[in-house]
Structure 1
Amino acid sequence: MARRVAMSFVILLLILEVVIAYEYTNLKREMQYSMFRRRYDICHLPMQPGKCRHGVKAWYYNHVTKKCQRFIYTLCGGNENRFYTNKECMDYCNGYTYIFPTTARQRQEREQQKEQDEQDAV
């Protein structure tokens, strides 16, 4: 009897470990997607020089040309697509301007929507 209880406990622990590992992996992917999406969004913002009179040299990422371009930032307003060196700009945006990956949850939601659309069509 004790052996059976111990075996059940071990099986339960193994199942729990698999569930936790799956959830951790999914959470990690979601976080990576979130960080990727944030960079993608920032690097697609238009150049905004700001609203003041005096300025400094800065760089913004042009997602069309996939290059950083220099502009004068007036130190007031603007947006997050603003860097103070070309290297900083390229390090942040290069590679984050392509179509971003989908997460498992997004794929599942897309499949559910597809199934719902098929049911609605009938």
Structure 2
Amino acid sequence: MSSSQLRRFPRRRTSVGASRAFVAQILREWQLTDLIDDIQLCASELTTNALLHGVPPGREFAVRLDLTDDLVRLAVRDSGDGKPEMQHADDSSCSGRGLFLVGELAADFGVDHHVVGKTVWAAFKRPPTP
């Protein structure tokens, strides 16, 4: 079984919450409710990074979920030229933990660079079906 869902969001702060809702809706449709919390948190981090560092004014970003037999892949694509890198924030930092959290929660994650923009993705192991 494989499936994909994609939605575009405007460059607005409210798009972070909208992307979380989109992720939860799709995971419910796919009956993968055990993954909602982790994938929603990663969607928040990746979409926030896209808004802060990646999406030029007037442009959109896209959130995509792909389902395979083994994995759920979350991908956030923007058209900016920011270079995502993992930071090691200390306990007093208010920001800088996004990619670190994604790395801790996901089975794998990475960045695909395109001619215009990039896709930051995270893959999650799909729980075994009973």
Query: TM-score, with normalisation over the residues of structure 2?
Result: 0.26
Higher helix share goes to which structure?
1
Give 1 or 2 for the bigger CA radius of gyration.
1
Query: TM-score, with normalisation over the residues of structure 1?
Result: 0.28
